[in-house]
């Protein structure tokens, strides 16, 4: 636990953000931290409600995630998928045998009328988590990717097409009428909110859906909390996922400088990796240069501590 005053809001997508969130839960008391995950990747598949980012974060916080694959559970088996394939079913999106139980339980509870935030709380409690992980909204928002092959849903682009088609833009279907989770707005307006940490997730398809919910960007801008992002781009590459490829396709340089420019006025500080040290001079927001690769629990906790310490000094 770290000696840190006030509340902290963490905004995250899946894999990269989940690592920092894992570090944050070691540093902060349960009542101090709210982790908000993107749900723009959510979709209905095989009749089940799938929330990939919520699950990646939930499994990572519970130390149940598969670190190599980045998604799903460690020690997973695939018998249901193999049997489904034999029956001629869709097997492009792989649901492990144990992971299936999460989607079954979520789907049952949603069909009973429970909101996604409540179901997420139930799943997290059942897995032994004490810190709060919530979806950005209880309403449906679907990230749509404009590509050279036409508009694709996020999972069609990401998993089925393996991020191969060049992207030209994104759209968050349903965002105009979606209501940000009330808890998210309460925390953004809380006088004791000290820091907002934007985790090293994809800025376009993981963080932007959260920021694009009605009222969120404005609330963030009018909050006195220090907003600190960790660059997901290190040495011109994304640690995982298509962020760098997307930047090139969107005619942006794949650099931490472009990340700073993308977030713009929203940021009070940006953490960039030590390999990008020379870029610090080109970044107009306050910058800290640190090792940001999170390969084990120690490095996750260390980066979380640094992000909180940076926020405290910016506040
Ligand atoms: N990602 C893949 O690349 N292939 C898969 O088959 C796949 C299945 C899957 C099942 C459950 C789940 O929670 C996540 C899954 N993911 C898979 C990851 C997921 O599509 C992405 O990590 C996120 O949507 C991007 O943040």
Domain ranges of the chain: 7-48+130-314
Mean pLDDT calculated for residue range 116-138: 98
- For residue 96, report the distance from its CA to the centre of ligand 1, in Å: 11
Average pLDDT over residues 67-83: 96
CB of 49 sitting under 6 A from ligand 1: no
Q: Is the pLDDT confidence value at 80 over 90?
A: yes
Q: What is the mean pLDDT of the chain?
A: 96
pLDDT band of 64, cuts 50, 70, 90: very high
pLDDT band at 4 (very low <50, low <70, confident <90, very high): confident
From 159, 124, 156, 153, select the one nearest 141 (Cα to Cα). Answer: 153
How does residue 65 score in pLDDT terms, banded at 50, 70 and 90?
A: very high
Asked if pLDDT for residue 38 goes beyond 90, the answer is: yes
H-type alpha helices, 69-143: 79-86, 97-111, 116-126
Query: Which two tokens mark 139?
Result: 């309403």
pLDDT band at 229 (very low <50, low <70, confident <90, very high): very high
pLDDT of residue 78: 98
Tell whether ligand 1 has an atom less than 6 A from the beta carbon of residue 159. Answer: yes
Residue 65 DSSP code: B
Helices (H), 127-163: 154-155
Structure letter (DSSP) for residue 252: -
Task: Write out pLDDT tens, residues 13-27.
Answer: 988 899 999 999 999
Establish whether residue 93 lines the binding site of ligand 1, counting it when its CB lies within 6 angstroms of any ligand atom.
yes
**pLDDT more than 70, % of the chain:** 100
CB of residue 72 inside a 6 A radius of ligand 1:
yes
Q: What is the pLDDT of residue 254?
A: 96
Q: How far is the CA of 81 from the centre of ligand 1 (A)?
A: 14
What per-residue confidence (pLDDT) applies to 118? 98
Predicted local confidence at residue 49, as pLDDT: 98
Dist CA 78 CA 94 (whole Å): 8
Residue 66 CA to residue 213 CA, distance in Å, equals: 30
Which of 99, 97, 103, 66 lies closest to 79 in space, CA to CA? 97
> How would residue 240 be classed by pLDDT, with cut points 50, 70 and 90?
confident
Q: How confident is the model at residue 32 (pLDDT cuts 50, 70, 90)?
A: very high
Phi then psi dihedrals of residue 101, to 5 deg = -65, -35
The pLDDT assigned to 133 comes to 98
pLDDT score recorded for residue 241: 87
pLDDT cut 90: percent of the chain above it: 94
Average pLDDT over residues 191-219: 97
With 0-12 / 13-18 / 19 or more C-beta atoms within 10 angstroms meaning exposed / middle / buried, residue 138 is buried
Beta bridge partners of 193: 7
Instruction: Answer yes or no: is pLDDT of 219 > 90.
Output: yes
> In this predicted structure, what is the pLDDT of residue 3?
84
Helices then strands, counting H and E runs in the chain, come out as 12, 14
- The pLDDT score that the predictor gives to residue 237 is 86
**Section 242-259 average pLDDT:** 96
Spell out the residues 6+ positions from residue 224 whose beta carbon is closer than 8 angstroms to its own: 193, 315
**16 CB less than 6 Å from ligand 1?**
no
Stretch 94-123: mean pLDDT, rounded? 98
CATH architecture of 7-48+130-314: 3-Layer(aba) Sandwich (3.40)
Per the DSSP assignment, residues forming a β-bridge with 269 are 228, 286
**Ligand 1 center–CA 21 separation, angstroms:** 18
Q: Is the CB of 41 under 6 A from ligand 1?
A: yes
State in Å: Cα 15 to ligand 1 middle. 10
């Amino acid at each position: 636990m770290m000696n840190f005053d006030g509340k902290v809001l963490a905004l995250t997508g899946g894999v990269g953000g989940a690592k920092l969130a894992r570090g944050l839960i070691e540093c902060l008391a349960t009542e101090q931290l709210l982790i908000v995950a993107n749900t723009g990747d959510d979709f209905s598949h095989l009749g089940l409600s799938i929330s990939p980012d919520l699950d990646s974060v939930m499994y990572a916080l519970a130390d149940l995630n598969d670190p190599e694959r980045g998604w799903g559970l460690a020690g997973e088996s695939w018998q249901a998928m193999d049997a489904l394939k034999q029956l001629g079913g869709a097997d492009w999106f792989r649901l492990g045998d144990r992971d299936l139980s999460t989607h079954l339980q979520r789907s049952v509870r949603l069909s009973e009328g429970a909101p996604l935030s409540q179901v997420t709380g139930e799943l997290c409690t059942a897995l032994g988590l004490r810190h709060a992980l919530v979806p950005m909204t209880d309403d449906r928002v679907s990230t749509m990717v404009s590509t050279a092959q036409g508009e694709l849903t996020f999972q069609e682009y990401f998993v089925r097409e393996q991020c191969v088609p060049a992207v030209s833009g994104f759209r968050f279907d349903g965002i105009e009428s979606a209501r940000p989770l009330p808890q998210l707005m309460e925390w953004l307006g809380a006088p004791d909110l000290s820091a907002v940490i934007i985790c090293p997730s994809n800025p376009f398809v993981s963080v932007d859906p959260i920021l694009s919910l009605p009222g969120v960007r404005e609330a963030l801008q009018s909050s006195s909390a220090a907003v600190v992002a960790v660059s997901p781009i290190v040495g011109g590459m994304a640690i995982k996922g298509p962020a760098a490829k997307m930047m090139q396709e969107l005619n942006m340089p794949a650099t931490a400088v472009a990340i700073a420019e993308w977030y713009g006025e929203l940021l009070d500080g940006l953490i960039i990796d030590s390999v990008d040290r020379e870029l610090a001079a080109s970044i107009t927001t306050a910058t800290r240069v640190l090792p940001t690769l999170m390969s084990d629990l120690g490095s996750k906790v260390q980066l979380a501590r640094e992000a909180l310490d940076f926020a405290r000094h910016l506040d």
